């Protein structure tokens, strides 16, 4: 085709574009944009037959307005996967209905009634379910990124606790916690465990460190669980393992509750051993004195 014929063809295609039709030389910023244009154009009974790639741009090189397949029934267009989409405004309505306790079916019926019929909604109930799944997935991803960021900043000292129970099977919920620069508690990670064996803890610690790009804490605080101690020595032998003072006091109350009776100085003597001595020799002396004093 000579230049004059080509220019005439391009001009003709540009006239068609006024009705949202493709034209020769039309550019798209991405493959996704071209696909979305094709879907919208298909609704207008036209076909985009051939698209070639030119670096980051896609250009229409050939166009045929004749269909080579039967068209979908107009009243069923809203059921075609390529035409179904939950827009932002509809997403807000879905969220409001869910927060109000309206069931998925009732919510979809309400949105359909507002739109004037299900064929005008643009999505099905299955799409509504998918919307919730994707939203939960995005929320989880954001939470995970936040945990990784917090750990990178404040993960030198980590407290690990499994004293929580969350379901009827009495499975332990394990939490990796710490403090931020405002001395507020931050969560670095969480897991539901089947049991509290050394093997389970080893798997959990390896998985946690892998999620945190291999960064190990400087100090790791737990209760006096022997399975935890064994797993820590295997997975993080160079990390300082400390015992949580809260659990030390809880264990003392559990096993030596009779020594906490009114008038006894056992509680203050025990707290002195925990908090007051920095010199190892002085601590050992105070501890031995505590043992003798209370015949333990």
Q: What b/e string do you get for 243-270 counting C-beta neighbours within 10 Å, with b at 16 or more?
A: eeeebbeeebeeeeeebeeeeeebeebb
Residue 234 clears pLDDT 50, i.e. is over it:
yes
Q: Please tell me the least confidently modeled range out of 127-131, 185-189, 190-194.
A: 127-131
Q: What is the pLDDT of residue 45?
A: 45
Does the pLDDT value for residue 110 go beyond 70?
yes
Averaged pLDDT, 46-64 = 59
Range 117-127 average pLDDT: 81
Determine the straight-line distance between the first and last CA of the chain, rounded to whole angstroms. Answer: 104
Q: Is the pTM of this model over 0.75?
A: no
pLDDT at 54 over 50: no
What fold, for 155-243? Nucleotidyltransferase; domain 5 (3.30.420)
- Residue 180 pLDDT > 50: yes
Tell me how crowded residue 48 is: count the other CB atoms within 10 A of its CB. 19
Using pLDDT thresholds of 50, 70 and 90, give the confidence band for residue 8: low
Q: Are 227 and 174 in contact (CB under 8 A)?
A: no
Domain ranges of the chain: 3-64, 74-141, 155-243, 257-296
| pLDDT tens digits, 202-217 | 999 999 999 999 999 9
Q: Name the band, by pLDDT with cuts 50, 70 and 90, for residue 261.
A: confident
In the predicted structure, residue 257 carries a pLDDT above the cut 70? yes
Residue 99, judged by CB atoms within 10 A of its CB (0-12, 13-18, 19+), counts as exposed
Residue 250 has pLDDT above 60, yes or no: yes
Element (H, E) at 105: helix 104-115
Q: Quick check: 145 pLDDT over 70?
A: yes
Give the chain's mean pLDDT.
83
The kind and range of the H/E element at 50 are strand 47-54
| Band (219; pLDDT cuts 50, 70, 90) | very high
Top mean pLDDT of 14-23, 47-56, 93-102 is at: 93-102
Q: What tens digit of pLDDT does each residue of 64-92 get?
A: 878 777 777 776 777 777 778 888 878 88
- Distance (Å) of CA 180 to CA 139, 156, 177: 22, 11, 10
Query: Does 148 have pLDDT greater than 50?
Result: yes
């Amino acid at each position: 085709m000579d230049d004059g014929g080509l220019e005439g063809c391009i001009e003709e295609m540009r006239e068609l574009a006024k009705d949202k039709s493709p034209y020769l030389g039309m550019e798209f910023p991405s493959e996704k944009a071209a696909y979305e244009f094709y879907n919208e154009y298909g609704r207008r009974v036209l076909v985009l037959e051939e698209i070639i790639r030119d670096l980051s741009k896609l250009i229409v090189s050939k166009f045929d307005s004749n269909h080579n397949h039967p068209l979908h029934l107009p009243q069923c267009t809203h059921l075609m996967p390529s035409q179904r989409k939950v827009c932002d405004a509809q997403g807000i309505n879905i969220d409001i209905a869910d927060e109000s306790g309206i069931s998925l079916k009732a919510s979809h019926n309400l949105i359909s009634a507002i739109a004037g019929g299900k064929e005008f909604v643009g999505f099905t109930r299955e799409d509504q379910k998918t919307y919730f799944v994707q939203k939960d997935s995005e929320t989880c991803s954001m939470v995970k990124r936040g945990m990784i960021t917090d750990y990178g900043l404040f993960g030198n000292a980590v407290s690990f606790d499994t004293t929580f129970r969350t379901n009827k099977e009495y499975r332990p919920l394990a939490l990796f916690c710490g403090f931020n620069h405002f001395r507020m508690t931050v969560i670095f990670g969480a897991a539901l465990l089947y049991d509290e064996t050394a093997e389970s803890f080893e798997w959990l610690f390896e998985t946690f460190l892998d999620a945190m790009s291999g960064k190990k804490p400087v100090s790791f605080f737990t209760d006096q669980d022997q399975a935890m101690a064994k797993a820590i020595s295997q997975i993080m032998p160079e990390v300082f393992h400390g015992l949580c003072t809260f659990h030390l006091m809880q264990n003392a109350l559990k096993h030596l509750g009779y020594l906490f009776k009114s008038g006894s100085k056992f509680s203050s003597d025990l707290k002195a051993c925990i908090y007051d001595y920095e010199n190892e020799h002085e601590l050992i002396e105070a501890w031995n004195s505590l043992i003798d004093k209370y015949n333990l």
